Chain A
Amino acid sequence: MKPSVQIKLFADLSAFTPPGADTFPIKAGTTVRRLLDDINVPAEKVRLVFINNIKGDLDTILKGGERVGIFPPIGGG
């Protein structure tokens, strides 16, 4: 089976959510940065990266099977 990840984009980044985000195909060994590049999420808008609920970063390597969560900065109240 081809490796895939689940992508969850928060706040204004959700506009970039690709079709099939729950099982989005990746190449094993790719990075979060490359994944976000593939779905046109501007890297400068990314502030928080979570891999399976643990903080990662743009250079975290993905094997497939992960849940990738991405937050922009938010500060409203």
Chain B
Amino acid sequence: MENGLVNEIRAVAVPKTFRDNTPYISLSVEQAALLARKYSLGGHRIEIEALQAGIVPERYARNMRTFSRPEQVVLLQSRVSVVGLGGLGGGVTEILARIGIGSLNLMDGDTFEDSNLNRQFLSTHEGLAKPKAEAAVARIRAVNASVAVEAHTEFLDADNAAGLLAGSQVVVDCLDSLKFRFILEAACKTAGIPLVSAAIAGMAGHVTTIFPEDIGLKLIYGEKDRLPVRGAEASLGTLPPCVTILSALETSEVVKVLLKRGVLLRNRLLVVDLMDNTMEVLKLQ
């Protein structure tokens, strides 16, 4: 990258201190956006240059030191696909954009309906009957314009999956159908991409992480040809505290996969029941 850009970043960066008084050099959101415009680059590219020059983009200041600067660079250089933009997908998209995943690839062929409003953060009165993928793009632009967004207003199926997921480092399963979860898993295995998968019913849910060589969803649901069309959510509905906590858990798995840090839920299922505050990790094999 041009030295000119790094010099300009240094020229507009300012000294600050973290809350424990450790000093750092900070690049404001406004200055990063101005440089992105001037150099016709995505904001995340400016932020990567800043971090590599030892400068912290202020929007990620509270990420820092739990993440190192090189780790924030890894997140900004990553592309994550979010499949399904309902309850899980809305929470996942919001968190991944804010934490600084550089590139988000979103897909959902659905439009918002009244019954989405209880839990889907991307749904609004104004957005009813409009595509979920378009609402997701607008939301990401509003909270972190540095993120490069690609959105597909189509449903993933066995035929289009490979093309839609190509180039992703992680895929997040935010679907609401058992059958399509298996189709997504098969596509991820073929493409060699790790998958983070969550599901809920009522106030209960579970989340797991599946690498291409892992057995995966079969350990949770059994054989796919014996699946019901819908699970217990058909009778229990889908509650906002549960879907939101599961979406947050999916994003922490995504970050750990990308950073190769921490303990993953591979061959493990983290189960949650908010009615009695159960949260435990079960061994699937």
- Taking Cβ atoms with an 8 Å cutoff, the residues of A that contact B are 8, 10-14, 47-48, 50, 53-55, 69, 71-77
The reply to whether B280 and A76 form a contact with Cβ atoms under 8 Å apart is no
A11-B236, A77-B87, A77-B238 given as contacts; is B231 within 8 A of A72 (CB)? yes
Do the beta carbons of B273 and A10 come within 8 Å of each other? yes
Pick the contact of B285 from A53, A55, A69 — CB < 8 Å? Answer: A55
- Bound complex: CA A29 to CA B17 (Å): 64
**Known pairs A10-B204, A11-B204, A55-B219; A71 contacts B238 (CB<8 A):** no
Residues of chain B lying within 8 A (CB to CB) of residue A71: 206, 271
Contacts of B84 in A (CB 8 A): 77
B78-108 interface code vs A (CB 8 A; 1 in, 0 out) = 0000001011110000000000000000000
Q: A12-B235, A75-B233 are in contact. List 11 more A-B contacts (CB 8 A).
A: A10-B271, A12-B236, A48-B220, A53-B283, A54-B282, A55-B219, A71-B206, A75-B176, A76-B87, A76-B176, A77-B89
What CA separation (Å) do A50 and B278 show in the bound complex?
Answer: 14
Smallest distance from the beta carbon of A70 to chain B beta carbons, Å?
11
Please tell me if B281 contacts chain A, counting CB pairs below 8 Å: yes
Find out whether the CB atom of B275 lies under 8 angstroms from the CB atom of A76.
no
Whether B201 contacts A76 by the Cβ 8 Å rule is yes
Q: Is the interface of B mostly helix, strand, loop or mixed?
A: mixed
Least CB distance from A59 to B in Å reads 14
Chain B residues closer than 8 Å to A54, beta-carbon distance: 282-283
Whole-angstrom distance from the CB of A14 to the nearest CB of chain B? 7
Beta-carbon contact of B228 and A76 below 8 Å: no
Chain B residues closer than 8 Å to A53, beta-carbon distance? 280-283
- B200 part of interface (Cβ distance < 8 Å): yes
Question: At the interface, yes or no: B175 with Cβ under 8 Å from chain A?
Answer: yes
Interfacial chain A residues near B67, Cβ < 8 Å: none
Distance between Cα atoms of A75 and B198 in the complex (Å) = 8
Note all chain B residues with C-beta closer than 8 A to A50: 282
Checking A8, A14, A74 against B205 with a beta-carbon cut-off of 8 angstroms, the contacting residue is A74
Q: Is there a chain A Cβ closer than 8 Å to B174's Cβ?
A: yes
With a cutoff of 8 Å between Cβ atoms, the chain B residues found around residue A73 in the complex are 178, 221, 227-228, 231-232
Partner of B233, one of A8, A14, A55, A76: A76
Q: In the complex, A73→B224 CA distance in Å?
A: 11
A10-B271, A11-B236, A69-B282 known; A74-B204 Cβ under 8 A:
yes
B178 near A75 (CB under 8 angstroms)?
yes
* CB pair B86 A77 closer than 8 Å: yes
Contact B232 A11 (CB under 8 A): yes
Tell me the bound Cα distance from A37 to B178 in angstroms: 26
Q: Are A77 and B243 in contact (CB under 8 A)?
A: yes
Chain B residues positioned under 8 Å from A55 (CB to CB): 219, 282-285
Q: Do A75 and B87 have beta carbons less than 8 Å apart?
A: no
Question: Taking the complex as formed, is B194 at the interface, i.e. its CB lies under 8 A from any CB of chain A?
Answer: no
The answer to the question of B202 belonging to the interface, with a C-beta cut-off of 8 Å to chain A, is yes
Do A12 and B232 touch (CB < 8 A)?
Answer: yes
Q: Please, how many angstroms separate the alpha-carbon atoms of A11 and B175 in the complex?
A: 18
Q: List 24 A-B contacts (CB under 8 A).
A: A8-B273, A8-B278, A11-B204, A11-B236, A12-B236, A47-B221, A53-B282, A54-B282, A55-B282, A55-B285, A69-B271, A73-B221, A74-B205, A75-B175, A75-B176, A75-B199, A75-B230, A76-B199, A76-B200, A76-B201, A76-B236, A77-B87, A77-B88, A77-B198
